[in-house]
Amino acid sequence: MVTAGIDIGGTKTTAVLTDADGTVLASRTITSGRGGPALLDGAARLLGELELSSGLHARAVGVGVAGVIDPGSGKVLAASGTFPDWAGRYPGNALSERLGRPVRLVNDVNAFLGGEVRWGVLRGARDALAIMLGTGVGGAFLLDGQLRGGPRGSAGEIGHTPGYSQLVCTCGGIGHLETLASGRSLGLRYAELTGVDGLGGREVAELARSGDAAAGDVFTRAAEALAQAVVVATTLLDLTDVVVGGGVSAAWDLLEPPLIASLTAAPPVTVPIPRVHRASLSSTALGAAALAQSTRIDTIVRKT
């Protein structure tokens, strides 16, 4: 059976068609529209074009979207400023109407985690944390072999937990993990150290690899903040594995050494250091496709 997965992001939207084993049969990416209706129209058009060009038709569709999703209604309860006119919408219902078939909706980080559990580095894991490092920072939990979204769909949202700095977050809070570990923050922190504005995470990573000390320090601070988050989550929930994905994880060569060093220097006291993995799947859309194939994953994410 062919299944479709769609990842609706703030800057790009990706659709994939997969078989039952997670093999990608066709894929396509477009620039995301601005605002709720444009995002949804673009996603529906993208899948239609992908099916037409490939000659394939997906019987099941899974969609990963940013924001806190109400597990009962599918309503977006909260979303960052990257997604204007998104909170208050029902993306699953809207896409189902546009596509003329059922759509299973899930938070994008839960989709990412579901894909890694089904087809990726977390196969066989039962207790894990997924961290998505993109424009912001998101998280999701696997507990006792089940994805846990929580009663309000917000379990695992570690990006806006405090205690990592004294910096002002985009949400207005102070010291959130996003102030150090998000793609947006990497450029801001580099500008504070050097006075050079306008760089993104990718450019800062290139500078770090070329020996720029300030750029290297930015990634070290990000990794140390991630280690702190991992220690807290692992201590609270007795986790065995952590998987890190998102655009910033492309700089894994810069993040992993200080992350592991920080975990080794200040490990959890009551539990072992968890295994830390870089994401193995190429797109969150694959996780959404895994969701489309598995009623069990859908039920666990949306109802617990």
Would you place residue 58 in the very low, low, confident or very high pLDDT band (cuts 50, 70, 90)?
very high
Q: H-helix or E-strand containing 6?
A: strand 3-8
User: Do 238 and 287 fall into the same domain?
Assistant: no
User: Do 49 and 135 fall into the same domain?
Assistant: no
* Residue 73 resides in a domain: yes
User: Do 19 and 145 fall into the same domain?
Assistant: no
User: How would you classify residue 97: left for phi > 0, otherwise alpha for psi between -120 and 50, otherwise beta?
Assistant: alpha
Would you place residue 297 in the very low, low, confident or very high pLDDT band (cuts 50, 70, 90)?
very low
* Residue 304 resides in a domain: no
Host domain of residue 234: 124-278
For the chain, the first-to-last Cα distance in angstroms comes to 28
pLDDT tens for each residue of 6-39: 998 878 899 999 998 889 999 999 998 888 888 9
The mean predicted confidence, pLDDT, of the chain is: 91
CATH number for the domain that contains residue 159: 3.30.420.40
* Residue 271 resides in a domain: yes
Would you place residue 295 in the very low, low, confident or very high pLDDT band (cuts 50, 70, 90)?
low
Residue 118's CB is within 10 A of a number of other CB atoms, namely 20
* Residue 302 resides in a domain: no
- 88: phi then psi, degrees, rounded to nearest 5: 95, -10
pLDDT of residue 150: 84
User: Do 274 and 132 fall into the same domain?
Assistant: yes
User: Do 110 and 146 fall into the same domain?
Assistant: no
Q: Rounded CA gap, 95 and 64, in Å?
A: 12
The helix/strand/coil state of 5 is strand
pLDDT of residue 300: 36
Would you place residue 212 in the very low, low, confident or very high pLDDT band (cuts 50, 70, 90)?
very high
The percentage of the chain sitting over the pLDDT mark of 70, rounded to a whole number, equals 96
pLDDT of residue 304: 33
pLDDT of residue 34: 84
* Residue 245 resides in a domain: yes
User: Do 143 and 268 fall into the same domain?
Assistant: yes
* Residue 300 resides in a domain: no
Residues contacting 45, CB < 8 A, separation 6+: none
Average pLDDT, stretch 111-122?
Answer: 94
pLDDT of residue 57: 94
User: Do 95 and 222 fall into the same domain?
Assistant: no
Amino acid at 120: G
* Residue 82 resides in a domain: yes
Q: H-helix or E-strand containing 189?
A: helix 183-194
pLDDT of residue 244: 98
User: Do 179 and 267 fall into the same domain?
Assistant: yes
Would you place residue 183 in the very low, low, confident or very high pLDDT band (cuts 50, 70, 90)?
very high
pLDDT tens for each residue of 86-95: 888 888 899 9
Distances (CA, A) of 109 to 1, 16, 27, 66: 25, 17, 20, 8
User: Do 207 and 229 fall into the same domain?
Assistant: yes
